[in-house]
Structure 1
Amino acid sequence: MVLGTSSNAGKSWVATALCAWYRAQGYQVAPFKAQNMSNNARVVATPDGQWGEIGTAQYLQALAAGCVPDVRMNPLLLKPEADTRSQVVLLGQVDAALSAMPWRGRSQHVWPQIAQALDSLRAENDVVVIEGAGSPAEINLHSSDVVNMRVARHGQAHCLLVADIDRGGAFAHLYGTWALLPPEEQALLRGFVLNKFRGDARLLAPAPQMLQERTGVPTVATIPMQWNHGLPEEDGVFDARSTGAGAIHTTVAIVAYPRMSNHDEFQPLLNLPGVRVVWARSPAQLQGADWVILPGSKATAADLDWMRRQGLDAAVVAHAHAGRRVLGICGGLQMLGEALIDLHGVDGNAAGLGLLPLVTLFAPDKTVRRVRVHLPALHGPWSSLAGMTLDVYEIHHGQTQLRTDMEAGQPQRSREVVPGLVWQNGPGHIWGTYWHGMLENTAFVQALFGAQAPSLEVVFARLAEGVQAWFAQEA
């Protein structure tokens, strides 16, 4: 089990690397995280043959492990809709009753499913790599814990505790976390990991030895800072240094509204040579962009309101009117239209940006599916994509319709490229779609940018090699 002294310590990344390493050693391995709070989700199969959602981190860990992702690997997913409200997804499906329940009241209802999911994965695999959440020493949450030490105790897991040494205070974080755990949980800690280290590792002495003398726990790995490692940041920590290398020929501005979802699907852009990615939160950051992308949103109406308060709505419209590319995905597609209509209290009502003659009606039931699609003929700057086969997925409450009566006087009419899923404006430079994951198809990226990012298999191989080196140094 990989625990952390805090969020962003590197739990997801280290767990992914361990999945890749165990796979490389010939083990049958699977990932597990009891509860994930993230608006980055992927579509996977459920035991009854339906589609469900899990956190992106566990989806990628399953790929690193060489196994098929399924809902047991992240049985509880919390998708924040506001600062004090989340949509609860249990074993892949939205659970309205749990979503309405107070946080502390959920644990007794979800623990049996969590334990069963973990036990079944343990029965089927040689190794299960478990990821914790936040810190195991959040003593205000210990009594209702279903993701950290309760899981560790249930599985009698061998636990690693990871600290982000780049932030400073790592040894205090490690010691304080250990000290706040009861003795039976301290006994499960088998090693400390110092992550994101920059400098000469010899300068760490004598701290690791002193820490071991106080806790009985050795420091088993010191992992150097990893820029451009190729995996998306789980919690949306954006860093310009992750932009692809080489002379910049294309700038892509992604509007980073507060409830942005599935931003992990843009990681291939950050890995591309010559492509500069800007996470835009102000109109100035859209200036000079070749592309503007409106990503998915877990609260489309609220994020549209935020855009208007920043002046980003006018900046996006100006960019589109200048004939530059605009891509709206899922919630971003809905924003491109004329209106959002919510009769069921799902998201909220709002006027759209008016760049496509679309009206979206929010439905109580969520569409969740993974599909293989064949692109029909496209026009404008997207024409090179015609005939391409893509693996994509959908996660949305909205149902969108084309309303050609709303664009009277336009010389070139917008069109529905794929019924209910893909639309383009008349000139063709504005494209809206419910399809997530297009940029993770190498042929799609090659056609649009003339280059390819390293494949996930290459990324996983590098991680496995890294584990071999980082842990061996401390052995």
Structure 2
Amino acid sequence: MTAVCVMVLGTTSGAGKSWVTTALCRYYARQGLKVAPFKAQNMSNNARVVKGPTVEDRFAAGPPQGETAPQGGSDPRQRWSVGAEIGSAQYFQSLAANAEPDVRMNPLLLKPEADTRSQVVLLGQVNLTLSDMPWRGRSLHVWPEIAAALDALRAENDVVVIEGAGSPAEINLHGSDIVNMRVARHAQARCLLVTDIDRGGAFAHLYGTWALLPADEQTLIRGFVLNKFRGDASLLAPAPQMLQDLTGIPTVATLPMWWQHGLPEEDGVFDDKTRASGAVQKTIAVIAYPRISNLDEFQPLKNVPGVRLVWARTPAECVGADWIVLPGSKATAADLEWLRAQGLDRAVTDHAAAGGAVMGVCGGLQMLGEALIDPHQIDGNAPGLGLLPLVTQFELQKTVRHAQSRFGTLSGPWAALSGVEVTGYEIHHGHTSQHPAMAAGGQLAVEVLPGLAWQADNGCEGGNKGNVLGVYLHGLFEDPRVLQALFGATAPNMDHVFDGLADFIETHFDAGVLDQLVKP
């Protein structure tokens, strides 16, 4: 079996590559084909836990370069039993394809820690050597792994749907490309080029991107796609035909603007486009600090009737909120410093003192404690917000694993979670525990989910109403049992979302185009 490869390229970041790729995965899976997604390199702080490669696969030629020994042993093979990371987009694309998520679907993940620095995750595991390597120097080292991952998926599937990154026509990066046209050439992929017509200049973007590609790469593009169109499509004429006359490539789809497709946004927050369905019954403010991670896990809250989701960057945006949520962070100490600079620390503590519900998830949990201690210079030392009597020490070893547990007895606004069984995942550096001096003084953290969640007891300032909850478990709001307990409602499940995406492209692509793309 050698899969046909269909590749979705974009004229810019945000053109719509991720959701079109997801839609194609479900469309082809519904045709009875065995489908897998692939993105060679993803830059995102939104990640999911999947099974890692087998020991035999990864260590046949010795330990991979740059990988550190695991905590509790010198054999690095032990680390593979706890899980691996891929970008959230490829995780959801694999579910749309009815495939098991696999590190080969996103062999290289870059997780930005600052404007000029990223943590490099190769085949699901942090690689310190690559993380310290200059950007352009990495391609020579990682391309063999990327090509091998793609070839393995091609050997096991009928169709591989590949997502590009940014634009394939960044001429300053073309020589070191490992994610766009180098992948397309390697797979001889049938490529679609997507543009965001809502931004303006769509035909110039399409033509300019095509014109900057070498002739052998131009021939791989099979169709142009106009995304996020508002209005009467007949008014586009004669531009699509003029573009085809210039390039030889037809415009094969005009996709209408569609805000509420239900797929988690990979790279941004929704701001003014986030509205409650029906009358607002609860407003939830999620603090949107610069290095927010796993923001996609809050997508279900957008789909719960009566819930209004606000991405808060100022204290004013927290006013009137029923809940304030501190989400995950890829740079906890730095984001905590930013939070204080904006005055959001006072907004959170005042909200808690007034009895308002506060939840911290992963890095947000760490911020709610008394202190961040960093003996290994991983993230940074910092005083916490002091709403939970906990202390976090960052460790060299990263925790990456699935988790399943059951809440104990909770109080206050979180009491509805008592006894609820939950599933999710952990991705974090650091170990969080009771602050010993505060415990000696009678201020205790109540462990309401073993090793994963804490509430303050009645002796803790700011938490004396049971209103402050910290959890390490990502994906809490993706669990329908949690939504039912907290809101008495559920959000549409992802299969419903994937089918809606497939229906949408089937309706708006020219007849026969999608099937023609995968013909041998």
TM-score by length of 1: 0.98
- Corresponding residue SS for 1:369: strand
The equivalent of 1:2 in structure 2 is 8
- Corresponding residue SS for 1:228: coil
The equivalent of 2:17 in structure 1 is 11
> Contact conserved, 2:139 with 2:176, CA < 8 A, in 1?
yes
1:14-29 correspondence to structure 2 within 5 Å = 14-29=20-35
Deviates more, 1:188-197 or 1:398-407: 398-407
The equivalent of 1:263 in structure 2 is 295
Unaligned runs of 5+ in 1: none
Q: Report the Cα offset of residue 370 of structure 1.
A: 0.7
Aligned length: 474
- Once superposed, which parts of structure 1, at least 4 consecutive aligned residues long, lie more than 4 Å away? 407-410
Deviations 1:360-408 (A, max 9, x none): 0000110000122222222222222222222210000010111263278
Amino acid at match of 2:491: A
Counterpart CA distance in 2 for 1:317 and 1:274 is 26
Aligned equivalent of 1:306, options 334, 338, 346: 338
Amino acid at match of 1:357: P
Unaligned runs of 5+ in 2: 1-6, 55-79, 458-464, 514-520
The equivalent of 2:316 in structure 1 is 284
Amino acid at match of 1:258: P
Deviations 1:237-291 (A, max 9, x none): 4243233310000000000000000000000001111111110000111111000
Counterpart CA distance in 1 for 2:153 and 2:276 is 37
Counterpart CA distance in 2 for 1:150 and 1:379 is 55
Aligned equivalent of 2:284, options 232, 236, 252: 252
Aligned equivalent of 2:158, options 119, 123, 126: 126
Amino acid at match of 1:111: W
Aligned equivalent of 2:447, options 400, 416, 435: 416
State whether structure 2 residue 138 is matched by structure 1 residue 106. Answer: yes
Aligned equivalent of 2:50, options 24, 37, 44: 44
Counterpart CA distance in 2 for 1:358 and 1:424 is 10
Deviations 1:318-375 (A, max 9, x none): 0000111100000000000010010111000000000001110000110000122222
Deviates more, 1:40-49 or 1:92-101: 40-49
> Contact conserved, 1:404 with 1:414, CA < 8 A, in 2?
no
The equivalent of 2:259 in structure 1 is 227
Counterpart CA distance in 1 for 2:244 and 2:132 is 45
Amino acid at match of 1:117: A
State whether structure 2 residue 64 is matched by structure 1 residue 33. Answer: no
Q: Report the Cα offset of residue 413 of structure 1.
A: 4.3
Deviations 1:8-37 (A, max 9, x none): 000001000000100111111000000000
Counterpart CA distance in 2 for 1:239 and 1:466 is 24
- Corresponding residue SS for 1:264: helix
The equivalent of 1:395 in structure 2 is 427
Counterpart CA distance in 1 for 2:179 and 2:307 is 38
1:88-237 correspondence to structure 2 within 5 Å = 88-237=120-269
State whether structure 2 residue 490 is matched by structure 1 residue 458. Answer: no
Counterpart CA distance in 1 for 2:315 and 2:158 is 52
> Contact conserved, 2:357 with 2:468, CA < 8 A, in 1?
yes
Amino acid at match of 1:31: P
Amino acid at match of 1:452: T
Deviates more, 1:423-432 or 1:383-392: 383-392
> Contact conserved, 1:35 with 1:74, CA < 8 A, in 2?
yes
Aligned equivalent of 1:79, options 96, 111, 115: 111
Amino acid at match of 2:34: Q
> Contact conserved, 1:243 with 1:271, CA < 8 A, in 2?
no
> Contact conserved, 1:242 with 1:271, CA < 8 A, in 2?
no
Alpha-carbon RMSD across the aligned residues, in angstroms, is 1.4
Counterpart CA distance in 1 for 2:271 and 2:368 is 27
